[in-house]
Each structure stands twice: as structure tokens, then as C-alpha cells.
């Protein structure tokens, strides 16, 4: 009995140590800085594009009524947006100011403040555009949120450049950098797990033809892949490998042995979707999310000249 209790205690202690190592080891903020630069660029472009249809989607008589969100949610809506109370005259100034803040976040200028404002803006725009938002906004929002939590302006940034000029040494590893990266990693696993699990309900994913359904959809198509109609074995391989990769992602992205392959698959799949189905912004932001799994050593080796 005592031996069993000891085992439980030992197991509990090991589990706790594992939890602490996972979340609370200090980490180099280098990877976080790279993510800020890349995610910041996608976020900036996403909102710059809104400029072409600003009045249509965010004006006082926007195409999606403001009450649409409340009616979606049984009358109780916490889908806040600053556009709900913004006077019409301030629509353009507010949008241009938002773009300036997002550009500052992207280049890492006054990052501590601009990261928090950017995260709020991303959520606010996406909420107001309920009905026209999609995966891009969802990934943009959580990346911006986690990047605002950690020291994402400590590398690849104007802030870092200014500090270097003032002789301030590089930021040392810190727990918040690790926490931010871990939250991005875990969130990516949640996204892929449910994306994969949802596909397991679909017969075309099981019979290996789902990729055909994606490339043969004219509304999405930007690259003609209809030649795949004559190469159905390839459609089968692409479908099943995508399914296996998504479902196994939460498990096989962690081991050192499989991680590089799973990241490479992510780059291939998402850039492929971006090129063939016209969703390059979504493809890019998913690739950026995957870069949370790059080690600081890897980032330092490949991008050091830009970082500091």
C-alpha cells in the first residue's frame, strides 16, 4: 500500500515537473520576434485590404447589420466591436489609425503598446464582419493575442534596433516568451485536431477524393489543377496524407524526429492551398503559426542578420 502511494506521489511529482518545464522554462524571445514580424505582415495586409470595401462592411449602413451578431447569439452577445459606436465621420480616420498601429506592430515599434492594441483591433474588425470572416481572422486573432502577451518586440524589431543603438544588451530568455510560444503551439494543435477530426466524418476524406472536391470548386480556383482528374491515385495520396497529417499533428509535431517533417508538410499544404485556391493570406498565417515550433537556435542560424 505504501509502495503504491509512493508510486502515485512519484508520478505526480514527475507530472508536475513536466508541466513546469513545459510552461515555465525561460525561452529566448527570438522565435516570438520572428512570428511578430511575419504575423504582423499578414495582419497588416488583411486589414489594408478592407480599405477597398471599408464603407461596405464597416460603415454605418454596412452590408451586415450590426444587430446580426446579437440575433445569432440568443440576444446575448459579447462580440464587441468599436465600429458599433464609431460615428460615421470617424470611420476613415479610425481605419487609417488602425493601419498605422498595425504597421508599427509589424515592424516592432513601441511593441508593448501596439501589440495589445493590434490584438484588440483584429478581434474588433473580425466581430463586425461576422458573416464575412473566415479562418484567416481566427488565426490572426489568436496569434495577435499571444504575441501581445510575450516580449515579441525584443527581436526583428525597431525597438531592438533602438535599444542596440543605445547600448542596451539583448533581452535574456524569459518565462513570458515561453508561455506565449507554448500557447501558440497548443492552439495550433487544437486547430489541427478539430480540423482533422471533422474530416473523419466525411466520406470523401475516407474514400480519398476530398482534394478533388477542393480543386474542382470554381469559386475557389486560382490554379488549374483539373489535370488531377486523370491522376486519381495522386488525388487519393494527397487526400489521405492531408488527413493523416492533420489528425496526427497534435501528437507528431512534438517529437524531434517528426517535427521537421510535420512543419514541412504544413508549409506544403498551406502554400498549396494558397496558390491553388486563392487563399494565400490564410495559407501564410497558418505557416506562420507553425513557425512557433522552430527553435531559437534554428531561427538564429537562418535569420540572425535580420534579428539584431
Partner 1 sequence: MAKQPKKLPSSEPSVFWSPIKRGVVSIVLVCYLLVLFFGPMTNPIATEELTVPIARTLRPAHQALFLGHGYRFFAPNPGPSHRVPYKIYNGAELVAEGTFPDRERNWPRVIYHRWFMLSETLFEELNQTPDQESFDESQRFIQEQIERFQQAGQGRLAAPLIARHERFERMYPQTLKRIDGLKQSIAQKLMEQFGGTRIELYVQERGLPTPAQIVIGEKLNDSRRLSEPILIGEYRRDDELPPPEVKQQ
Q: Segment 82-121, which members bind partner 1 (CB under 8 A)?
A: none
Tell me the torsion sign for CA atoms 164, 168, 172, 177: negative
x-or-dash string of contact with partner 1, 251-280, rule CB under 8 A: ---------------------------xxx
Report the greatest alpha carbon distance in the chain: 75
Single out the residue of 15, 17, 164, 234 in contact with partner 1 (rule: CB under 8 A): 17
> Which CB atom, from 84 or from 162, has the smaller least distance to partner 1?
84
Report in angstroms how near the CB of residue 165 gets to partner 1 at its nearest: 25
Q: Segment 135-164, which members bind partner 1 (CB under 8 A)?
A: 135-138, 141-142, 145
Rounded to 5 degrees, φ, ψ at 41 are -65, -45
Single out the residue of 123, 148, 253, 285 in contact with partner 1 (rule: CB under 8 A): 123
Structural contact between residues 275 and 222, judged by C-beta atoms closer than 8 angstroms: yes
> Which CB atom, from 122 or from 307, has the smaller least distance to partner 1?
122
Among the residue ranges 77-85, 99-107, 162-170, 252-260, the one whose residues contact partner 1 (CB under 8 A):
77-85
Single out the residue of 6, 232, 264, 304 in contact with partner 1 (rule: CB under 8 A): 232
Cell numbers representing residue 235 in the block: 488525388
> Which CB atom, from 134 or from 162, has the smaller least distance to partner 1?
134
Rounded to 5 degrees, φ, ψ at 301 are -65, -40
CA dist 187 and 156 (Å) reads: 23
> Which CB atom, from 194 or from 302, has the smaller least distance to partner 1?
194
Cell numbers representing residue 63 in the block: 452590408
Single out the residue of 41, 80, 109, 161 in contact with partner 1 (rule: CB under 8 A): 80
Q: Segment 21-60, which members bind partner 1 (CB under 8 A)?
A: 21, 23-28, 45-46, 49-50, 52-53, 56-57
> Which CB atom, from 135 or from 158, has the smaller least distance to partner 1?
135
CA dist 116 and 137 (Å) reads: 16
DSSP states of 147-196: HHHTTTTSSSSHHHHHHHHTTPPPPPPBHHHHHHHHHHHHHHHHHHHHHH
Q: Segment 171-230, which members bind partner 1 (CB under 8 A)?
A: 172-175, 178-179, 181, 186-187, 190-191, 194-195, 198-205, 209-210, 212-214, 216-222, 226, 228-230
Please name the residue ranges forming H helices in 86-174: 91-107, 111-128, 135-149, 158-165
Total residues interacting with partner 1, rule: CB under 8 A = 96
CA dist 148 and 110 (Å) reads: 12
| N-to-C CA span, the chain | 58
Report in angstroms how near the CB of residue 259 gets to partner 1 at its nearest: 12
111-128 vs 91-107: helix crossing angle, rounded to 10: 130
Amino acid at each position: 500500500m505504501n509502495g503504491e502511494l509512493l508510486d502515485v506521489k512519484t508520478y505526480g511529482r514527475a507530472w508536475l515537473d513536466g508541466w513546469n518545464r513545459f510552461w515555465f522554462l525561460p525561452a529566448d524571445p527570438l522565435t516570438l520576434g520572428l512570428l511578430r514580424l511575419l504575423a504582423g505582415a499578414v495582419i497588416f495586409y488583411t486589414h489594408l485590404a478592407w480599405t477597398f470595401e471599408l464603407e461596405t462592411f464597416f460603415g454605418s449602413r454596412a452590408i451586415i447589420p450590426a444587430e446580426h451578431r446579437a440575433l445569432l447569439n440568443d440576444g446575448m452577445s459579447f462580440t464587441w466591436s468599436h465600429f458599433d459606436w464609431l460615428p460615421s465621420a470617424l470611420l476613415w480616420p479610425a481605419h487609417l489609425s488602425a493601419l498605422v498601429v498595425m504597421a508599427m506592430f509589424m515592424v516592432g515599434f513601441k511593441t508593448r503598446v501596439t501589440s495589445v492594441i493590434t490584438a484588440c483591433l483584429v478581434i474588433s474588425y473580425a466581430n463586425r464582419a461576422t458573416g464575412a470572416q473566415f479562418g484567416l481572422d481566427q488565426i490572426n486573432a489568436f496569434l495577435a493575442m499571444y504575441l501581445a502577451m510575450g516580449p515579441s518586440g525584443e527581436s526583428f524589431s525597431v525597438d531592438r534596433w533602438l535599444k542596440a543603438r543605445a547600448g542596451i544588451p539583448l533581452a535574456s530568455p524569459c518565462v513570458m516568451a515561453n508561455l506565449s510560444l507554448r500557447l501558440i503551439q497548443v492552439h495550433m494543435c487544437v486547430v489541427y485536431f478539430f480540423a482533422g477530426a471533422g474530416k473523419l466524418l466525411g466520406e470523401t476524406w475516407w474514400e480519398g477524393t476530398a482534394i478533388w472536391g477542393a480543386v474542382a470548386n470554381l469559386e475557389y480556383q486560382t490554379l488549374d489543377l483539373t489535370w488531377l482528374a486523370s491522376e486519381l491515385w495522386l488525388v487519393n495520396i494527397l487526400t489521405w496524407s492531408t488527413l493523416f497529417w492533420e489528425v496526427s499533428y497534435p501528437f507528431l509535431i512534438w517529437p524531434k524526429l517528426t517535427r521537421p517533417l510535420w512543419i514541412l508538410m504544413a508549409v506544403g499544404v498551406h502554400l498549396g492551398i494558397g496558390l491553388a485556391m486563392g487563399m494565400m493570406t490564410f495559407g501564410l498565417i497558418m505557416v506562420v503559426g507553425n513557425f512557433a515550433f522552430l527553435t531559437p537556435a534554428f531561427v538564429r542560424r537562418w535569420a540572425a542578420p535580420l534579428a539584431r
